[in-house]
Amino acid sequence: MGDFASVIGSGPIVGLDDIPNNLSAYYQIVSSGVVLDLSQHTARNIVDGHLDPYDLTVIGGSSNDHVSGGHAEDDLSGGNGADTIFGYIGDDRIQGDEGNDWLSGGLGDDTVLGGKGDDVVMGEEGDDSLAGGDGSDWLASGSGDDTVAGDNGNDSIYAGSGDDLVRGGNGDDSIIGDTGNDTLYGDNGDDMLAGGKGGDQLDGGNGDDWMAGEAGEDQMFGGNGSDTLIGGDGSDTMTGGNGSDTFLFESGFGDDVITDFSKADQIWLTANINNSGISNARDVAQYVSGDAGHTTIKIGDDSIRLDGVGKDDFLSHLTSWVKIV
C-alpha cells in the first residue's frame, strides 16, 4: 500500500498543510464543520468519517480515493480516479466525477451521481436519486421510492422495491423493476425492460425494445421501433406504437388488451398455450370471437382483445398475423 500519513480531523480544514501532495494519507474525521479539499493531492487518500455525527464535505484528489461519510448530511465527491465512496447514514450527496467509481448512498434519502466512467451506483435504503452519467454504468436503487437515470451509455439498472421512476437515457439499457408500481422508460436505444411485481408502466421509447410486464396489471408502450411486448401475469394493456411489433403470450397471461394492432404486427402464442392443443395458427380460429370493431381471442381463462380490428379481418389474416412458437 505504500507510505501513509495519518490525520485526526478537528477543524474546518483538516491536515492539508502537513501532507505532501505525493504522500497517501488516512484521515479520521471526528468533529464538526470539516471541509476536506484533496483536489491537489496526487496520491491515494482514505477518509474515514463513519464515527462523525456532523456534516462532512470531502473533495477527492486525482488518485483512487476511499471515502466514508458519517451520520449526518455529507457532501462527498471523488475527483479524478477510480474512487470508492460510501455515504453511510444521513441524506448525503455523492458524486464520483471522472473515473470508474463505486458509490453507495447507504441509509437515508441520498443523491448519488456517477459522472464520467463506468460506475457502480447504489442507493440502498431511502428515497434516493441516482444518475449514472457518461459511461456504461451499473445502478441499483435498493428499497424506497427512487428516481434513477442511466444517462449516456449502455446501462444496467435494478430498481429494487418501492414505486420507482427509471429512465435509461441514451444507449442500449437493461432496466429491471421489482416489487412496487414502477415507471420505466427505455428512452433512446434498443432496451430491455422488465416490470417485476406491481402495476407498472413501461415505455420503450426509440429503438427496437424488448419488454415484459411480468406480474401485475401493467401498461406497456413500445414507442418507435420494432418492439417485443410480453404482458406476463395480470390484465395488461399493450400499445406497440410505430414499427412492426410482436406481442408474445404464454400460458396464464391474463386478460390483455392490444390497443393498436396493425397489419405490420404479429401475435406469438406458445405451443399448447393453456393446454389448448394449439400447434399452428389455424387452430386459433375456434377461440376467436368479436364484431366489426374488435376481436377477442379467449383461450381457457385468459383472453386477448384487439381494439380496432374486426373479427372477419382478423380471421382472413390469421396465418400471417399469428405465429405459434
pLDDT at 168: 97
pLDDT at 69: 92
What confidence tens digit (pLDDT) does each residue in 47-67 have? 888 877 888 899 998 889 999
pLDDT at 16: 53
The closest of 206, 205, 236 to 219, measured between CA atoms, is 236
Q: Cell match 418507435: residue? A: 224
- Angle 188-210-219 from CA coordinates, rounded to 5°: 90
pLDDT at 15: 46
* C-alpha distance across the termini of the chain, in Å: 57
What confidence tens digit (pLDDT) does each residue in 221-257 have? 999 999 999 999 999 999 999 999 999 999 999 999 9
Report, as an integer, the average pLDDT of 312-318: 98
Q: What percent of the chain has pLDDT over 70?
A: 93
Residue 87 pLDDT greater than 60, yes or no: yes
**Are 290 and 313 in contact, with CB atoms under 8 Å apart?**
no
Instruction: Count Cα neighbours of 157 within 13 Å in the Cβ-side half-sphere.
Output: 39
pTM attached to this predicted model: 0.91
pLDDT at 29: 77
Instruction: Name the helix (H) or strand (E) containing 130.
Output: strand 129-131
How many DSSP H helices and E strands does the chain contain?
Answer: 2, 32
d(CA 248, CA 196): 17
pLDDT at 27: 79
Q: Which of 37-41, 237-241, 285-289, 317-321 has the lowest mean pLDDT?
A: 37-41
d(CA 312, CA 289): 9
Residue 153 pLDDT greater than 70, yes or no: yes
The closest of 98, 17, 107, 113 to 60, measured between CA atoms, is 98
Report, as an integer, the average pLDDT of 116-124: 96
Report, as an integer, the average pLDDT of 103-125: 97
What confidence tens digit (pLDDT) does each residue in 262-302 have? 999 999 999 999 999 999 999 999 999 999 999 999 999 99
Q: How many residues does the chain have?
A: 325
